[in-house]
A = this chain, B = another copy of it.
Amino acid sequence: MLGLMQDWPLLIHRIIDHAAAVHGPRRIVSRSVEGPIHTTDYRGLRGRALKVAQQLERDGIGLGDRVATLAWNTWRHVEAWYGIAGLGAVYHTVNPRLYPDQIAWIVNHAADRVMLADLTFVPLLESLAARLPTIERYVILTDATHMPATALKNAVAYEDWIAEVDGDFEWRIFDENTAAGMCYTSGTTGNPKGVLYSHRSNVLHAMSAMAPNVLDISAQDTVMPVVPLFHANCWSMAFSAPMAGATLVLPGPKLDGASVHGMLNDHQVTMTAGVPTVWMALLAHLDAIGGRLPHLKRIVIGGSACPRAMVEAFRHRYGVEVVHAWGMTEMSPLGSTSRLMPEHAGLGRETELDVLARQGQPPFTVEMKITDDGGRELPWDGRTFGRLKVRGPCVTRAYFAEGKEAIDAEGFFDTGDVATMDALGSMQVTDRSKDVIKSGGEWISSIELENLAVSHPQVAEAAVIAVPHPKWGERPLLIVVLKAGESPSRDDILAFMRGKVANWWLPDDVVAIEEIPHTATGKIQKTTLRDRFRDYMLPNATAMAG
């Protein structure tokens, strides 16, 4: 027997309709790419989003067509998302920080038909255009005054383009599982993979994100997403902020410490979110000028692990609550947030910082489990670590045009992370599963060993990789870059580490090299190290073989 409630598909356009109807005059303040501050409101943004949809339809775009965006966080980018999705087309955010070859590969793989791009990226697109045959038209997100002369195909200034229609348009209605958005992940190996969000997943994700345990967004908040719209669906804020009726502040292209500080204070931002590097720059700026954050209440930090010292700095030096978040493009992306629970009351400042530095608890709509390689579930004891697997309505089941499922028989997606879970369901990432060292059936965290090694006063950087071992399968090899002028011995370093981890975790050898290789985004390139040290003979392995 079915319930007798209304059939009301979860469609993205309903978010902006709600914002315009109930929170119509709430402001959207942007740093424009052209320079000045621009202000509109939800009613205005909805009106222009309707024009985007109407004009795209005139240009022949329809259900399922991909429309690329290569743009900073501004009102034009947000209204374009709503316009594209409200037509049943798919907004495809392209990350301008990728290598040009990757951008070309992604646009071709997605078969994008229209490209909406900021002025910033016109030169890049001009250099790539010959390799982007699927793009029928380039819409430059500016007005006639700022429109550059360009040979890009059918190039038009966005403001001229939407001025051609009157906005008398009705959102299209379709199945809530219809594709709405697309974002490619750029793994360290292989080609990027396209994640394809649906209207349902984006709406559910935004509802989940609004909740007090997650981003905690209300109509009384002023929200500034520093994380770009092209970074993993902007952590929901282009949807959850309008859904809540929050005032929205969009920082445009200027993400340096001084600019971010200026936007936070000038527009009385109460909540912001971004990756640790942005906040490192903000902290450096605040320290340099003796700046304060009088309006900011909380800051969501994710994208990569937030150092405990950063939690401490914002919390105790600036009086700003830190919400450490973890997620993946494949998870829409919010997977967990770290918040103090009632059980933590009275445990004191240091324990609180430890709790807040964990990746935290999944919201409702995210199920987590940790398993061993055989898929057996492991206990949530805060110590045992295993492959982190997730399930939920906002989690990927397959990648675009791969033609195969990316989930296991129980419907779980393997995150590629290795993590512990504690009794309160708080998760801590301990490693990437491809980096963990499997020694005699037990796992050793490369990250924990690296963190320990770099705390040695003479070590500048450290990487731990697995090397083959005849008895244990794999054993850890510690690779270090020494600080200038220092030359500690192998035994010095191992003696420093001894007693701070289980003895069987201690690396079997230490090698000092000149430079550790990094990826474009600053991560250690362990694949290169593994190739280089593939045939490395560990001392005790030799002894045993001899």
Contacts and interface: CB of A to CB of B under 8 A. Distances in A.
Interface of A: 1-8, 10, 14-15, 17-18, 21-26, 63-64, 90, 175, 177-180, 195-201, 204, 207-208, 210-213, 216-221, 243-245, 247, 332, 339-343, 361-362, 364-365, 367-368, 391-400, 407, 411, 413, 423-425
Contacts of A400: 4
B339 A219 contact: yes
Given A18-B364, A200-B5, A364-B207, A25 B343 contact: yes
A40 to B, nearest CB: 16
A113 to B, nearest CB: 13
13 contacts: A1-B179, A2-B178, A3-B198, A4-B195, A6-B395, A7-B397, A22-B362, A22-B424, A24-B423, A24-B425, A26-B341, A211-B218, A213-B218
B6 A397 contact: yes
B8 A393 contact: yes
Contacts of A2: 175, 177-179, 198
Contact of A341 (B177, B219, B243): B219
B392 A8 contact: yes
A64 B1 contact: yes
A6 B178 contact: no
A332 B8 CA distance: 14
A372 B24 CA distance: 23
Contacts of A15: 364
A237 to B, nearest CB: 14
B394 A5 contact: yes
B3 A180 contact: yes
**Chain B CB within 10 Å, residue with most, of A2, A18, A90, A397:** A2
A201 B4 CA distance: 9
Residue among A199, A340, A397 having the largest count of chain B Cβ atoms under 10 Å: A397
B207 A208 contact: yes
A169 B25 CA distance: 51
A389 B395 CA distance: 35
Nearest to A180: B3
Contacts of A22: 361-362, 424-425
A45 to B, nearest CB: 16
A64 B4 CA distance: 13
Given A15-B364, A63-B1, A364-B18, A6 B211 contact: no
**Which residue, of A23, A391, A398, A413, has the highest number of chain B Cβ atoms within 10 A?**
A23
